[in-house]
Structure formats: structure tokens, C-alpha cells
Amino acid sequence: MRHSNSDKEFFKTYREEFPITKNLVYLDHAAVSPVSLRVKKAVDDFLTDAVESAFFNYSSWLQRVEEVRGTCAKLVGSERDEIAFIKNTSHGLSLVAQGLDWREGDNLITYEREFPSNVYPWLSLKRRGVSLRFIPFKGYGFHTDEIENLIDTRTRLLSISSVQFTNGFRCDIQRIAELCKKKGVLLFIDAIQSLGAIPLDVKELGIDFLAADGHKWLLAPEGTGIFYCRNELGEILYPTLIGWKSVINEHDYDQLDFVLKNNALKFEEGSFNVVGITALGAAIELLLEVGIHRIERRIFELGDLIIEETAKRSLELRSPRDKKERSGIHSIAGNFDPKVVKDKLKALGIIVNVRGGALRVAPHFYNTEEEILKFFAALDSILESKF
């Protein structure tokens, strides 16, 4: 089912926010996304204020930071004080890896094909006698029973991506969360490949921790993201970085009082990356204005077209077809070298990527059917040329 003309006009309006469309067919939002004119204006306005006023308007900067915190909380369905600003997803994962009271003999679980940022922080716990168990790779995804088979009485945490970066497999967070609750296991969701493209509510789903950088589906610059810590866990997760903002009386500079905050705010140990948070806020506000459910429907429509065109060419789709397991990422393989094809597409102004030995195509809501067809036409031409 395609969008109506009125819907197409709606998306066309927002497409104008992304001047990159004038020069490139950009289908690589699972890597680093372009930012919008709205984000650029927000950053320009902040820098102008910093140049002209500096500390004079500092209180308004902090007010804006808290407004953005509220926007992030709205995006994930949390309370404001359950959100901390972080520099990237690895930062958020490391907060939990280094902050939990692990004991020798404990174990945790992740997926065998996770992005390294969701593996290395856990492997570092080996020095503390904590072991990492892997859900085995069997095709493009996994099922809840494969997780349950790995859980025992010493399993403390499951850390999993909402969407897998290579092929776009989307896990069933709700069923996984129900399993974790039944078994007394904490659940960490790496949401970088879904947040901004697929609706998510941490309370409804029962997520304990979540992290996501802004530079993929959130359409923000690199260097700023969000970390969610369920309030009930704020007391037990110890901050590995400590600073003046970690404590309750953060503005009492003359009286030392080492009493840590008991929520996510204690993980913001020092001064804010105000320019990054400003950009992140503008990006998320744009997405919320469009509507995350509407964005998901649009991305799935473009995905339907990708699946159809892939099948027409008898190419291999290495991503799920079932919408319950799909996301915005589509992995396409065939009798070709994907790295060579990617470079040839780039020379034509069509930007995709290579992961897992296949072309990875990842459109966002402002992309069009015409761009998808242009990608496939260029792919046909490249493959017919036999390089």
C-alpha cells in the first residue's frame, strides 16, 4: 500500500529540510545520517549566542538542556530524571558494564553478531570473573527460547540491540523483557538502529537500561546521545565517572557534600555538551512533529519496494520479510563484490554501505520511491557492466 497524494505532499514538505537530496540519493541512515536545516539553525543560533553573549545567557542554555531532556523522555516514554545525556552508545553501555556490582561467577548474555560496542564493554568484565555468553547466529536473527537456554541462576544481564546493524533484524523486545523479568535478569537495549524510526516505550516494554547515539535514525550530529536508567535501578548503578554534577548539592561549590544523586542524572558528571544537546533536541523535535508511527509506516513502505525490486532481480535478501521482524535496514547480496558495487554507486551519487558481506540499504522517511528505483537502476547498470 502506497501513500496517498496528501501524504506525499506532507513528506515532500519535510524533504526540503534535507538539502542533501539535491545532490545525493542518501540511503545510509544506519551509518551516519545527514542533519536537517532545522538542526543547522539551532546550532547556528546557539553559536551566535555564545559568540555575542557567552555566559550572560547561560541560564537559558541550561533551560534548553532540560527542555531537550523532556523531549528525549517523551521519545522513549520515560520520566525526565531517567534520562542522562551521553557522548555515544558505547558510553551508555560502559556505564552499566562498569557500574553494576558484579561478582565473580556472574554471567551476562548478548548476541553473537552484535556491533562491537555491545561486546567489548562486557568482555572487559572478564578481569572481574564475569563471563559473556553469546546467542548463536543461525540465519538472520534469533528467538526468545534461544536466550532462555543460556540463562542460569548467575545470569545478571541481557544486552541486545533492538535492531541488528548488519541485516535489520528486529527482536521482540516485549517477549524478551517478559522473559528477563521472569528470570530476574536485567535488560539493556542498544536502540541506536531503531530510535527515531520505530516507536519504543521503555515503560510499556519493561526495559531497564537503554542507550542510543543521535547520528543514525535520530538525524542528529555525532557526539551526543541518550542513556535511560529505570529509576528503581538508580541506586544500585554506581557512576564510574564522578564530578561536581554527580552530587545532589551540585551548585554548593563552597561546601563539600559527597551525596550522589539516585537517578540517571548522576551520570552527567560535569558540564554539558550544550551545542550537541541543542542539535539533538532540534532533531528529535522534528521527528516527533512528523510522528514516529508515521515515520515507521513510511520506512516500511520504502522497504516493501526494496523487497519487491530485490525479488524481481533474483538477488538475495538477507533481511527479514515479516514486518514484525523488519526495520529500516535491508541487506542485499548476489553474485557481485558488494564493496566494489558500493564504490561505483557512490561515484553515481547513491550512498549505501556494506555490512556482513552484502549491500546495506537504509532509507529514512524523507526518501522517495523514485530514489529507491534510481538505486536499483544504477545497480542494474553496474551489474550488467560486469565491472
Is the domain of 183 the same as that of 303?
A: no
At 23, is the secondary structure helix, strand, or coil?
Answer: coil
Is the domain of 18 the same as that of 91?
A: no
What pLDDT sits at residue 5?
56
Please provide the DSSP assignment of 332-343 as one string: EE-SS-HHHHHH
Is the domain of 190 the same as that of 90?
A: yes
Is the domain of 192 the same as that of 262?
A: yes
Look over the chain and give the mean of its residue pLDDT values, rounded to a whole number.
96
Is the domain of 107 the same as that of 156?
A: yes
What digits encode the pLDDT tens for the residues 277-304?
999 999 999 999 999 999 999 999 999 9
What digits encode the pLDDT tens for the residues 8-65?
788 889 999 999 999 999 999 999 999 999 999 999 999 999 999 988 889 999 999 9
Is the domain of 102 the same as that of 191?
A: yes
Among 289, 317, 350, residue at a domain's last position = 289
Is the domain of 207 the same as that of 322?
A: no
Is the domain of 267 the same as that of 374?
A: no
d(CA 215, CA 86) in angstroms, rounded, equals: 13
Half-sphere exposure for 327 (CA within 13 Å, toward CB): 34
What pLDDT sits at residue 54?
87
Average pLDDT over residues 348-359: 97
Is the domain of 341 the same as that of 210?
A: no
Residue 309 structural domain: 5-34+291-385
Cβ atoms of 301 and 2 within 8 Å: the answer is yes
Among 256, 289, 322, residue at a domain's last position = 289
pTM of the model as a whole: 0.95
Question: Residue 241 pLDDT more than 90?
Answer: yes
DSSP strand pairing (186-190 vs 316-317): unpaired
Question: Residue 4 pLDDT more than 60?
Answer: no
As given in the structure block, the three cell numbers for residue 76 are 522513549
Question: Residue 127 pLDDT more than 60?
Answer: yes
Is the domain of 143 the same as that of 209?
A: yes
Average pLDDT over residues 107-126: 97
What digits encode the pLDDT tens for the residues 193-202?
999 999 999 9
Is the domain of 196 the same as that of 304?
A: no
Among 289, 323, 338, residue at a domain's last position = 289
Average pLDDT over residues 122-148: 94
Show the DSSP H helices in 225-348 as ranges: 274-290, 292-312, 338-347
Question: What CATH code is carried by the domain that includes residue 314?
Answer: 3.90.1150.10
Q: How much of the chain exceeds pLDDT 70, in percent? A: 98
Is the domain of 254 the same as that of 379?
A: no
Question: Residue 66 pLDDT more than 90?
Answer: yes
Q: What total number of domains does the chain contain? A: 2
Please return the burial class of 164, using the count of CB atoms within 10 Å of its CB with bins 0-12, 13-18 and 19+: buried
Please return the burial class of 54, using the count of CB atoms within 10 Å of its CB with bins 0-12, 13-18 and 19+: exposed
